[in-house]
Structure 1
Amino acid sequence: MPIGGSKEFDLLHQAMAATNDAGNPVLNNMGGRCQFSRLRDTSAKTVEVHGFCTYVDKDGDQTFEQCDFLPGQPNKCKIIGGTGKFEGLQAELIITIEPLKSNFEGISQVIGHKKGTYKLAKTN
């Protein structure tokens, strides 16, 4: 929706699937969803995105991710915790995306790649 000047505000909902090329359990064979707010400046041709994602594995264990994509900077996310085997999980991630051609009007599709490091912090 337009919010004045050359700016537009959107809410985004994304469905995700994650695999880990190394095969370890962090973000491997997990389904997820994300909720983002997006601020676009059409005259400056910039986009700012902030939001959260939750992924779940076959055992029901979850990871929680916070993302901030700022103009002129790498797309960064961080895992800020989890449940079950992912309790205490922390990660710093850089996200790159490759757009795909969509079969549906108004729906964009991408393949994303996450690179970074993680650690399991003891919570007790």
Structure 2
Amino acid sequence: MAASNEAGNPVLNNMGGRCQLSRLTDSSAKTAEIHGFCTYIDKDGDQVFEQCDWMPGSPNNCKITGGTGKFEGLQAALVVTIDPLKSNFDGISQVIGHKKGTYKFTNTN
């Protein structure tokens, strides 16, 4: 995954990332929830850590729980919206996600 920040500030800008997510499906209710974690890294090797919980009927919420280097002490609350993309393969879905929220740096000492 790739991340860019439309405002151009360094939080989630020009970073690569990887997520480990679990999807729990309720076929009778035709709903799914997703829980997991993502890690992003920038060109300097500094990382951002994120936790996501997407529940049926609720906004797709993620929170940045910290980071390393220049991102140490980073905290954020984010809502994710997605736009589906056409996939070339059956059973594979691709999306473009947009994260909106606020962040702050907390004192880690």
- TM class, shorter-length: over 0.9
Match of 2:89 in 1: 104
Pick the aligned partner of 2:48 from 60, 63, 67: 63
SS at match of 1:104: coil
Q: Which ranges in structure 2 are unaligned for 5 or more consecutive residues?
A: none
1:92-114 Cα offsets, whole Å, 9 max, x none, are 00000000001123321100000
Equivalent residue of 1:47, what SS? strand
Residue matched to 1:24: 9
Segments of structure 1 that go 5 or more residues without pairing to the other structure are 1-15
Trace 1:1-20 onto structure 2 (pairs within 5 A): 16-20=1-5
**Could you tell me how far apart the structure 1 residues matched to 2:105 and 2:86 are?**
37
Q: In structure 2, what is the Cα distance between the partners aligned to 1:103 and 1:76?
A: 28
What is the aligned-residue RMSD (CA, Å)?
Answer: 0.7
Instruction: Output the CA distance in 2 between the equivalents of 1:93 and 1:22.
Output: 15
Partner deviation per Cα, 1:27-68 (whole Å, 9 max, x = no partner): 000000000111111121111111000000000000000000
Is 1:122 equivalent to 2:107 in the alignment?
Answer: yes
> Rg larger in 1 or in 2?
1
Match of 1:84?
A: 69
- SS of the aligned residue for 2:70 comes to helix
C-alpha distance in 2 between matches for 1:38 and 1:30 = 25
Moved more, 55-64 or 100-109: 100-109
Q: Percent identity?
A: 80
Which TM-score applies when normalising by structure 1? 0.86
